[in-house]
Copies of this chain bind each other. A is one copy, B any other.
Amino acid sequence: MSRRQITFWFDFASTYSYLSAMRIGDMATRLNLGIRWQPFLLGPIFAEQGWDTSPFNLYPAKGAYMWRDLERQCEARNLAFMRPDPFPQHSLLAARVALAALEHDNGASFCREVFCAQFARGADISNPATIADCLHRSGFPETLMDKADDQHIKDRLRDHVSRARAVGIFGAPSFTVGSELFWGDDRLDSAMQHAERRTGELE
């Protein structure tokens, strides 16, 4: 019987992906579920909807609400929070280095460090020095950053974007379990419950 799995689709620039990234690991451990960390880019998907930036910037009332909501959520979860400026940040470098890190066992630690750098300390994740620091904090050599230029890493990120689009993803975080899609940190519990119910099915 295969280990039950949940695929966690995230963009490093996504505010609510921070909330999920910081709790999904513990939740999955408790439920004995596997997680596939799947960084992708929202930019190309937003562009297809005619958006050249985050909808939180395009729609000011929605944006103002999101920042207040995020602040409240972080407070309730004892998560540090600092609003990054600019927002959204360019997440391409982080995503590519994450794909290289995720070829190793503790790749998820690197991903969490990137989210914390940006949303707990307000650092700019498009800055290679920030990424180098995240690698260091998660026990990777700085040289892993060179892999961001490898063709197979670039291709894999492009493939993740195509697959995100193909499964109907329109925002982040999203979670897939088999053919079911769940959107938003608010649906992480539902996704986990769905994964628990699916016994022995291959993803």
Q: Which residues of A contact B (CB under 8 A)?
A: 49, 59, 61-62, 64-65, 68-69, 72, 76, 168-171, 180-184, 186-187, 190
Docked complex Cα distance between A64 and B69 (Å) = 25
Q: Is the CB of B190 within 8 A of A65?
A: no
Q: Is the CB of B49 within 8 A of A59?
A: yes
Q: Which of B65, B69, B168 sits near A61, CB closer than 8 Å? A: B168
Docked complex Cα distance between A52 and B61 (Å) = 18
Q: Which of B62, B69, B180 sits near A187, CB closer than 8 Å? A: B69
Question: What are the 5 closest A-B residue pairs judged by CB atoms, nearest first?
Answer: A61-B170, A186-B186, A62-B170, A61-B168, A49-B59
Query: Taking A72-B190, A190-B72 as contacts, is the C-beta distance between A59 and B170 under 8 angstroms?
Result: yes
Docked complex Cα distance between A68 and B187 (Å) = 13
Query: Taking A169-B61, A170-B61 as contacts, is the C-beta distance between A69 and B186 under 8 angstroms?
Result: no
